[in-house]
């Protein structure tokens, strides 16, 4: 029990630091940039933008499902979650949207330029989700970017 209390104390202390506040601000900036770039690429966001760490894409006006998008992006090395959108006619196992977060990108140190590149990769995958050559090419580029921005 004491180890849990100690862990929380350390986490709270870190969360109060100026560095963590800077990190939080960058997470939100990256989400805004990601959302803006996805919209510029012709995709639809549920709310039109983001004020937090989440971007929610809406496929309800297309044949693409959240499940298919999640699968294709996963094969391309981009982890997202299928997510229901308002008034979703598809069930919760299929969905009409995906949720993208920017905390992992920010933790690696990605900023505007790299986030825009990731958005372009996402768009390419969503335009051709069954093109295995494309998915493998994007996966290689994702791995290369991750090597440029290691976690540790």
Model confidence pLDDT, tens digit, residues 31-71: 999 999 999 999 999 998 889 999 999 999 999 999 999 99
For residue 2, the model assigns a pLDDT of 85
For residue 97, the model assigns a pLDDT of 98
DSSP states of 40-107: HTT--BSSSS-SSSEEEEE-TTSS--HHHHHHHHHHTT---EEE--TT--S-TTT-SEEEEE-HHHHH
Contact 108, 148 (CB under 8 A): no
Mean pLDDT of 111-131: 98
The helix (H) or strand (E) run that includes residue 106 is: helix 103-108
Q: What pLDDT band is residue 82 in, cutting at 50, 70 and 90?
A: very high
Q: What proportion of the chain, given as a percentage, has pLDDT over 70? A: 100
The overall average pLDDT reported for the chain is 96
Domains of the chain, start order: 2-148 (3.90.1150.10)
pTM over 0.85: yes
For residue 48, the model assigns a pLDDT of 86
Q: State how far the alpha carbon of 140 is from the alpha carbons of 78, 131, 134, 136, in Å.
A: 11, 15, 10, 6
Pair of tokens at residue 78: 């981009």
Helix (H, G, I), strand (E, B) or coil at 114: helix
| Residues forming a β-bridge with 55 | 100
């Amino acid at each position: 029990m004491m180890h849990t209390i100690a862990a929380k104390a350390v986490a709270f202390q870190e969360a109060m630091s100026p560095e963590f506040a800077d990190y939080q601000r960058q997470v939100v900036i990256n989400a805004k940039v990601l959302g803006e770039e996805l919209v510029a690429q012709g995709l639809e966001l549920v709310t039109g933008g983001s004020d937090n760490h989440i971007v929610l894409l809406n496929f309800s006006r297309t044949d693409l499902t959240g499940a298919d998008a999640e699968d294709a992006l996963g094969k391309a090395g981009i982890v997202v979650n299928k997510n229901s959108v308002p008034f979703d006619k598809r069930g919760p196992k299929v969905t009409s949207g995906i949720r993208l977060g920017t905390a992992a990108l920010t933790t690696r140190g990605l900023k505007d330029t790299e986030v825009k590149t990731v958005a372009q990769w996402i768009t390419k995958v969503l335009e051709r989700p069954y093109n295995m050559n494309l998915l493998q090419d994007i996966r290689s580029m994702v791995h290369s970017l991750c090597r440029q921005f290691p976690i540790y």
